[in-house]
Structure 1
Amino acid sequence: MFPAAALLSFSLVAVVYGQAAGTLTTETHPKLTWQKCAAGGSCTTQSASVVLDSNWRWLHSTSGSTNCYTGNTWDSTLCPDAATCTKNCALDGGDYSGTYGITTSGNALTMKFVTNGPYSTNIGSRVYLMATSDSAYEMFKLKQMEFTFDVDVSNLPCGLNGALYFSQMEADGGKAKYPTNKAGAKYGTGYCDAQCPHDIKFINGEANMVDWKPSDNDKNAGSGKYGTCCNEMDVWEANSMGSAYTPHSCKAQGPTRCSGTDCGDDASGERHSGICDKDGCDFNSYRQGDQTFYGKGMTVDSTKKMTVVTQFLTNDNTTSGTLSEIRRVYVQNGKVIANSKTNIPGMKAYDSITTQFCAEQKVAFGDVDDFAAKGGFGPMSQAMTSGMVLVMSIWDDHAANMLWLDSSYPLDKDSSTPGVARGACPTDSGKPTDVETNSPNASVTYSNIKFGPIGSTYK
């Protein structure tokens, strides 16, 4: 992911118990099926569910209904310091459809952008795929495997991102490692990604309220002293106007709390000094020189549902090898569509992400090669060996208006400069105030998830 999504606090009437389970609102995970495939294409349906990220949940006193966090500030009485705040505050179960606009049906998950609930207005959301148990995330070991899903982004305009990706989170959400985390994966705890987000309210089972600064352009978000970093594989970041897939490697393995330079914060000018590659090595067809491949009415038609296939190939074609290539295939209207090819001066005609592709892209675009500096495929390969959590989300961008995905970015460079044009959206599009007002009913639907050996999940 690029900049983190806006997160809301809620003024609901319920009692909850910090990073422990609440008692008034029962946490019931929406059911979602997916398929595990074997070589040859035989697939078995898995009965699973999704869980809402803890950052979206109502947080308030364990002994009453006073909010611990309102708008973008912490309550000074309940939260005079991090340790006391952690002891005093709690998470509750969620009304997935009524509060968050999250619904499931069979193998399909639909996430609505803006939901006007009885007590709050919710913007965006993030969920994780659970294992058969409702207290652990499903862990995907991706090497020499392929991951396939259907997606409908026809209702996602400029400025929105329907993102499906893998994060190197812990299976139990950090519950065993951090005793103050009583809720664990059942309540969506333990998030991390390569942007090392500072807006996560609890990191390592402790309130992230030290040096908390309310956002100056988002009334519902802020940032604390600490960030939470880990390897992140962006399989799909897209709206109806642009799409990309991107590996982001980190020097550290597993969820890592950062502070100072290690976080690589843009505000301090240290983006490339942190432990994670925030830029990543992206394959965006538009940015790679084919402006007719993905979009409305194009080769891959974003006005219609599509199947997205991603293959994680190793150097010796075994699950014990080292990640060496990430390939993409689409299926739409019964037709298999090969990925577009790079058409950029100074680059070969690549159609997948490899070490050579990344190196040539960074030179051609004049970008810092932080992908190589952070170890390239090496750390990501290790993360895929240990297992990664599937994340699905919908969000808008208070940091850069999503221009890095669907428009020309950065704004101080001419759009004709190689690598700047990433999509056809206007450079004045994507402002959260505009998107939230004009497209509240935007949504994304993910469905028909399949996972198995190379060649087993599609025809």
Structure 2
Amino acid sequence: MLGALVALASCIGVGTNTPEKHPDLKWTNGGSSVSGSIVVDSNWRWTHIKGETKNCYDGNLWSDKYCPDAATCGKNCVLEGADYSGTYGVTTSGDAATLKFVTHGQYSTNVGSRLYLLKDEKTYQMFNLVGKEFTFTVDVSNLPCGLNGALYFVQMDSDGGMAKYPDNQAGAKYGTGYCDAQCPTDLKFINGIPNSDGWKPQKNDKNSGNGKYGSCCSEMDIWEANSMATAYTPHVCDKLEQTRCSGSACGQNGGGDRFSSSCDPDGCDFNSWRMGNKTFWGPGLIVDTKKPVQVVTQFVGSGGSVTEIKRKYVQGGKVIDNSMTNIAAMSKQYNSVSDEFCQAQKKAFGDNDSFTKHGGFRQLGATLSKGHVLVLSLWDDHDVNMLWLDSVYPTNSNKPGADRGPCKTSSGVPSDVESQNADSTVKYSDIRFGAIDSTYSK
């Protein structure tokens, strides 16, 4: 009993200053309308002293006074409820969610957001994508170079980790439990306790830092895009659950080699521009980013097995198949993602095939069948300015695969986009989930 009391004393609790009211968001499952809602990630939330308004975390630093160590920090500090529109620039209407890039609130300036689809007040909606189709409509017309409107799935726990980690008293209701294939160490809370030990502020981001631990899990990037470039990318991890890492086991984020973690950081991406078609995605092109577009992603397979990920777009009443590859070093053309495509792409570009190393589609099927949480986000990139998505990266490279989009290599600097494109938005709407070829008009 004493152990339980100690754990409870060091847990991260919740505040009472702002009621947590999740914005409603309707979506469609198998043709039936579902009344869901969304919740903002705990990393964005105000963290303060229990019963007071003094900050536990301010700027990119934990308080030395209130957070000398993680246990004391958890005892002292609470997560606060969210003002979604006023603080985070997030609004919903019916089946649509709009995310604003920079929001100047009463007490702070917020940049970007990360949100999750909820089944109920305390539980994330879980999706098993195997043999299914996931469809949504997106408007990226107001997303310039350097921004990323990302919609993706990660293998988070459905309750945000409350059952697995007794120290977590906030759970899914307050957006806890995040993980992805980059094993991020910038998370303020991992496994229910503050990640304050060893915390170091990031030199190039006044709002972020990195702690001793990271949080790893498999990730399916359905959508990473702005008006100039887009990609969809599966990433897999060796373990089929959220796992805390430290040091080089977190890969590059933990100070190790990029490929030293138990996850595949690069993934196997299909970016039409990078794969040789520069007239497919963009303003006025085949898929015209000046207008909303319906995005259809099909996970071909059954049971715990996925063999192929297909992509279609619907715009102006027309179904547009994904572009074909046009890479000289690839002897065959592809317009979908599979083990065969991934291995051919990695070989042609001379890239590290960590996707195959960590199990490829065999592992992808295994993780997807466990159920994943849907993430809606908008962000800028303080590491490499989003050049990996929409420009030439590495910037001094002329090897195949380095040319990823039409944006200048000088674009995407966070201080520039945050000041010049503060009013940028992405709008996600009409989320649909069901049998393959059932969620869009053919």
Q: TM-score, normalised by structure 1?
A: 0.92
- Residue in 1 aligned with 2:3? none
1:457 aligns with 2:439: yes
Identical columns (%): 59
For 2:416, give the aligned amino acid.
D
Q: What are the equivalent positions in structure 2 for 1:137-148 lying under 5 Å apart?
A: 137-148=124-135
Q: Distance in 2 between matches of 1:384 and 1:216?
A: 36
Residues 180-217 of structure 1: CA distance to partner in whole angstroms, max 9, x if unpaired?
11110000000000010000001001111111111011
Q: Distance in 1 between matches of 2:212 and 2:354?
A: 24
| 8 Å Cα contact 1:19-1:184 kept in structure 2 | no
Match of 2:52 among 54, 61, 64: 64
Q: Distance in 2 between matches of 1:94 and 1:208?
A: 21
| 8 Å Cα contact 1:18-1:62 kept in structure 2 | no
Tell me by how many angstroms 1:267 deviates: 7.1
Q: What are the equivalent positions in structure 2 for 1:298-337 lying under 5 Å apart?
A: 298-314=285-301, 318=302, 320-337=303-320
- Residue in 2 aligned with 1:340? 323
Match of 2:368 among 375, 378, 384: 384
| 8 Å Cα contact 2:248-2:254 kept in structure 1 | no
Structure 1's unaligned 5+ residue stretches are 1-16, 38-42
Match of 1:408 among 369, 372, 392: 392
- Residue in 1 aligned with 2:17? 24
1:158 aligns with 2:142: no
| 8 Å Cα contact 2:182-2:253 kept in structure 1 | no
Tell me by how many angstroms 1:269 deviates: 4.8
Give aligned pairs, total. Answer: 431
Residues 69-104 of structure 1: CA distance to partner in whole angstroms, max 9, x if unpaired?
111111111111111111111101100000100000
| 8 Å Cα contact 2:275-2:326 kept in structure 1 | yes
- Residue in 2 aligned with 1:98? 86
Residues 313-335 of structure 1: CA distance to partner in whole angstroms, max 9, x if unpaired?
11xxx3x1411101100000110
| 8 Å Cα contact 1:410-1:420 kept in structure 2 | yes
Q: What are the equivalent positions in structure 2 for 1:234-313 lying under 5 Å apart?
A: 234-265=221-252, 268-313=255-300
- Residue in 1 aligned with 2:34? 46
For 1:370, give the aligned amino acid.
S
Q: Distance in 1 between matches of 2:40 and 2:95?
A: 17
Match of 1:425 among 407, 421, 437: 407
- Residue in 2 aligned with 1:107? 95
Counterpart of 1:393 in 2: which secondary structure? strand
| 8 Å Cα contact 1:231-1:379 kept in structure 2 | no
Q: Distance in 1 between matches of 2:261 and 2:228?
A: 31
Tell me by how many angstroms 1:301 deviates: 0.5
Counterpart of 1:265 in 2: which secondary structure? helix
Counterpart of 2:327 in 1: which secondary structure? coil
For 1:336, give the aligned amino acid.
V
1:358 aligns with 2:342: yes
Counterpart of 1:371 in 2: which secondary structure? helix
Q: Distance in 2 between matches of 1:50 and 1:186?
A: 9
Match of 1:443 among 419, 425, 435: 425
| 8 Å Cα contact 1:18-1:59 kept in structure 2 | no
Counterpart of 1:386 in 2: which secondary structure? coil
Residues 431-457 of structure 1: CA distance to partner in whole angstroms, max 9, x if unpaired?
000000000000000000000011110
Q: Distance in 2 between matches of 1:393 and 1:268?
A: 26
- Residue in 2 aligned with 1:11? none
For 1:274, give the aligned amino acid.
S
| 8 Å Cα contact 1:203-1:228 kept in structure 2 | yes
| 8 Å Cα contact 2:12-2:75 kept in structure 1 | no
| 8 Å Cα contact 1:35-1:448 kept in structure 2 | yes
| 8 Å Cα contact 1:145-1:312 kept in structure 2 | yes
Q: Distance in 1 between matches of 2:282 and 2:342?
A: 24
Q: Distance in 2 between matches of 1:21 and 1:147?
A: 34
Q: Distance in 1 between matches of 2:251 and 2:362?
A: 20
Tell me by how many angstroms 1:231 deviates: 0.3
Counterpart of 1:130 in 2: which secondary structure? strand
Q: Distance in 2 between matches of 1:436 and 1:372?
A: 37
- Residue in 1 aligned with 2:6? none
Match of 2:155 among 142, 158, 168: 168
Match of 1:216 among 193, 200, 203: 203
Tell me by how many angstroms 1:253 deviates: 1.4
Counterpart of 1:377 in 2: which secondary structure? helix
Task: Using the TM superposition, name which of 206-215 and 240-249 deviates more.
Answer: 206-215
Residues 230-272 of structure 1: CA distance to partner in whole angstroms, max 9, x if unpaired?
0000000000000000000001111100012211116745111
Q: Distance in 1 between matches of 2:110 and 2:141?
A: 21
1:227 aligns with 2:214: yes
Residues 88-128 of structure 1: CA distance to partner in whole angstroms, max 9, x if unpaired?
11101100000100000000000000001111110000000
Q: Distance in 1 between matches of 2:396 and 2:358?
A: 26
| 8 Å Cα contact 2:247-2:254 kept in structure 1 | no
1:82 aligns with 2:75: no
Structure 2's unaligned 5+ residue stretches are 1-9
Q: What are the equivalent positions in structure 2 for 1:118-137 lying under 5 Å apart?
A: 118-131=106-119, 133-137=120-124
For 2:276, give the aligned amino acid.
G
Residues 106-162 of structure 1: CA distance to partner in whole angstroms, max 9, x if unpaired?
00000000001111110000000000x210000000000000000000000000000
For 2:372, give the aligned amino acid.
M
Match of 2:355 among 362, 366, 371: 371
For the aligned residue pairs, the C-alpha RMSD in angstroms reads 1.1
Q: Distance in 2 between matches of 1:78 and 1:268?
A: 27
For 2:229, give the aligned amino acid.
G
For 1:65, give the aligned amino acid.
T
